[in-house]
Amino acid sequence: MSKTIITVVGKDTVGIIAKVCTYLADNSINIEDISQTIVQGFFNMMMVVDMEKCEKHFVDVADELEKLGNDIGVIIKCQKEEIFEKMHRF
Amino acid sequence: MINLREVSETNEMISKENLDVRTITLGISLLDCIDSDLEKLKKNIYNKIFDAAKDLVATGDKISRYYGIPIVNKRISVTPISLIGGSACKTEEDFASIAVTLDEVAAKVGVNFIGGYSALVAKGMTAADELLIRSIPLALSKTERIMSSVNVGSTKTGIDMDAVRLMGDVIKKTAELTRENDSIGCTKLVVLCNAPDDNPFMAGAFHGVTEGDKVINVGVSGPGVVKTALEKVKGESFEVLCETIKTTACKVTRVGQLVAMEASKRLGVPFGIVDLSLAPTPAIGDSVADILCEMGLESAGAPGTTAALAILNDQVKKGGVMAASYVGGLSGAFIPVSEDQGMIDAATRGSLTIEKLEAMTCVCSVGLDMIAIPGDTKSTTISGMIADEMAIGMINQKTTAVRIIPVAGKKPGDHANFGGLLGHAPIMEVNQYSCDDFVNRKGRIPAPIHSFKN
């Protein structure tokens, strides 16, 4: 099963990771790797997640995470890992 | 494992630099639809296209969501209609009625364009070919989504000058019949030399007779990505310049390959090719002309433009070839004027002329593309421009094309607006000297000496 990459980009504020992780836990999405950096006050996070146990459809999860991002003022993207693998790995 | 820097790079290409998959084009053979009864033929065509393409748009949208990459267009190409309608069509109206059927099914399945209202007449025209060509103005004036192309020459056959002369008239009539929309019909009509059978890009897309029953071809694009990459190597050597373009083109093409394979799998249709293209749009930051400026030109059309474009075209191919399992179509940098804000600006300020564009077509992927010219340009002059461009393709063994719009009622200094991706353009000056006696000769130009390779 392919992995999914979730990215969060936006102005740094309290509780971004908590809110995203709560959503993922509520939907049985397992976080396998997480990396994060802050550049000039901008929050930039990437998670590698496994959605195998998630009962929702990928597109619905992507939509809900996008909406969650809008609520907390950041951009959340949910993408299949292959686009990054194809572009950066041969 | 993929790291944050790589993920950010990809997503910045998409969100800030207009990286997208320009088109997934589903090629469909209509050879098994042929019938001598026109109504039955049209029914066969409608049903075959509908069955093959009913899931195309939804599938494209789903792939776009899965990978977070825009897939701008979902399109269809079909077997050249002159071959399909030959036995059923007795009049221009008969052929145009097939165009209406194609338009209806295109709207039904939700694609924005369907290509293949075409004739392949590189050496001569059958009665059906000529009838289809003469029906093009009517067909384009009665439809919205039809794209038409006519291949009038090749390196192996020479140039059919009777067809070139006829196309001058056809372009003028198309301009006249669609004059209320700045002669928009001509934006959907292209004359080609060495047309490829597997081109996913409009207006020249058709499903060649060398192809299988159905095929998925994909065109990628990313002028903004290349420009941004070049901003980081300002003043560096040609070696660094070329390597930067090549590496960037490789990354862009890998995305096209991924989308092509996924579309092929989901639709159950064989994968054909990836077209290694740099296709601009009128959007700011999505311009091939801007890349030329980033390479060191003050404005597109300045001395050095042809050399810069040659580098760009070649490096895009070199980078892309490694990234895709099958490469085809037009593959290279497109230089349409009305679809590229940098080209529009260059033409408006006078740094870019038709003659310079003609030189650029020797080293770009296609030809004179989306150029608005005065509405009173003679049809023989248009045929002369086509003949010049076809000669470049024939001698240099490359695809060349002419898509020019003699905008009815407009003159140099005026502006034409075609809307959407077709863009807008200043009316460019055309050389006023006559080529009537040359174009009015009958027959064809023989194949060049280097075509005899057997």
Residue with tokens 């050879």: B31
- Domain definitions of chain A by residue range: 4-88
CB atoms A5 and B7 under 8 Å: yes
pLDDT computed for residue B28 by the predictor = 98
Mean pLDDT of chain B: 97
Q: At B295, phi and psi to the nearest 5?
A: -75, -15
Token code pair at residue B153: 């020459």
**How do residues B65-106 score in pLDDT, each as one tens digit?**
999 999 999 999 999 999 999 999 999 999 999 999 999 999
Give the pLDDT score at B453.
85
Structure tokens at A29: 């999405």
Note which residues in 26-65 of chain A have CB less than 8 A from chain B.
33, 35-37, 44-46, 48, 58-59, 62
In one-letter notation, the amino acid at residue B85 is: G
- Residue B33 DSSP class: G
Q: Which two tokens stand for residue B384?
A: 């002369």
Task: Write out the two tokens for B414.
Answer: 């005026």
CB B206 within 8 A of CB B417: no
CA nearest to A6, candidates A18, A24, A27, A22: A24
Residue B86 CA to residue B41 CA, distance in Å, equals 11
Predicted pLDDT of residue A12: 87
Cβ of B258 and A46 within 8 Å?
no
The whole-angstrom separation of Cα B215 and Cα B267 is 10
**For residue B312, what are its two tokens?**
């760009």
What gap in Å lies between CA B390 and CA B383, rounded to an integer? 10
- Nearest one of B345, B354, B305, B335 to B425, comparing CA atoms: B345
- CA nearest neighbour of B115 among B102, B98, B125, B131: B102
Task: Look at residue A38 in the predicted model and tell me its pLDDT.
Answer: 87
Residue B422: HSE in the Cβ half-sphere, 13 Å Cα cutoff: 25
Inter-chain touch A85–B2, beta carbons under 8 Å: yes
Going by the DSSP 8-state scheme, the letter that residue B327 receives in this structure is B
The phi and psi torsions of A7 (rounded to 5 degrees) equal: -115, 145
Q: Quote the minimal CA–CA distance from B227 to chain A in Å.
A: 18
Name A33's Cβ contacts closer than 8 Å, sequence gap at least 6: A47, A48, B1
Mutation target among B4, B8, B16, B61 for the A interface, most CBs of A within 10 A? B4
Strand (E) positions, B167-210? 189-193
What distance in Å separates the CA atoms of residue B318 and residue B337, rounded to the nearest whole number? 25
Q: ipTM of the assembly? A: 0.93
Q: Does A80 contact chain B (CB < 8 Å)? A: yes
Does residue B68 sit at the A interface (CB-CB below 8 Å)? yes
To the nearest whole angstrom, how far is the Cα of A73 from the nearest Cα of chain B?
17
Structure tokens at B202: 């409009």
On whether any CB of chain A is under 8 Å from the CB of B67, the answer is yes
Nearest CB to A83 within list B8, B62, B68: B68
Domains of chain B: 25-193 (3.20.70.20), 219-443 (3.20.70.20)
- Is A87 in contact with B69 (Cβ distance < 8 A)? no
For chain A, state the CA radius of gyration.
13
Q: What is the Cα–Cα distance from A20 to B369, expressed in whole angstroms?
A: 48
Cβ B3–A79 below 8 Å, yes or no? no
- Residue B5 forms contact with A (CB below 8 Å): no
- In contact, A82 and B2? CB cutoff 8 Å: no
Fold for the domain defined by A4-88: Alpha-Beta Plaits (3.30.70)
Which residues of chain A neighbour B266 with C-beta distances below 8 Å? none
Of the candidates B252, B254, B279, B284, the one whose C-alpha atom is nearest the C-alpha of residue B370 is: B279
The 10 Å Cβ neighbour count of residue A88 is 16
**pLDDT tens for each residue of A30-75:** 999 999 998 878 899 999 999 999 999 999 999 999 999 999 999 9
Strands (E), B252-391: 271-275, 277-278, 332-333, 368-374
Q: For chain B, which ranges sit under pLDDT 70? A: none
Closest CA to B371 of B384, B387, B362, B358: B358
Q: Give the pLDDT confidence score for residue A13 in this predicted structure.
A: 87
Chain A residues whose CB is inside 8 A of the B3 CB are 35, 46
**Residue B333 CB: number of other CB atoms within 10 A?**
31
> SS3 sequence, B127-147?
HHHHHHHHHHHHHHHHCCCEE
**CA angle, B310 then B312 then B317, to 5°:** 100
The verdict on a CB contact (< 8 Å) between B2 and A80 is: no
Interface touch B6/A5, C-beta < 8 Å: no
- The DSSP-derived string for B408-431 is TT--TT-EEE--GGG-EEEPPP--
**Rounded to a whole number, what is the distance in Å from the CA of A47 to chain B's nearest CA?**
9
Q: What is the pLDDT of residue A90?
A: 78
Question: Distance (Å) from the C-alpha of residue B76 to the closest C-alpha of chain A?
Answer: 25
Interface A:B, Cβ pairs < 8 A: 63
> Can you tell me the distance from the alpha carbon of B124 to that of B75, in angstroms, rounded to the nearest whole number?
29
Contact B68 A87 (CB under 8 A): no
For residues B412 and B451, what is the distance between their CA atoms, to the nearest angstrom? 40
Rg (C-alpha) for chain B, rounded Å, is 21
Position A1 scores a pLDDT of 61
The partner residue sitting opposite A77, judged by closest CB among B68, B254, B258, is B68
Give CA–CA dist B303/B300, Å, rounded.
9
**Mutation site for A-interface testing, chosen from B3, B8, B11, B220 by largest number of A Cβ within 10 Å:** B11
Element (H, E) at B74: strand B71-78
Q: Which residue of B has its CA nearest to A35?
A: B4
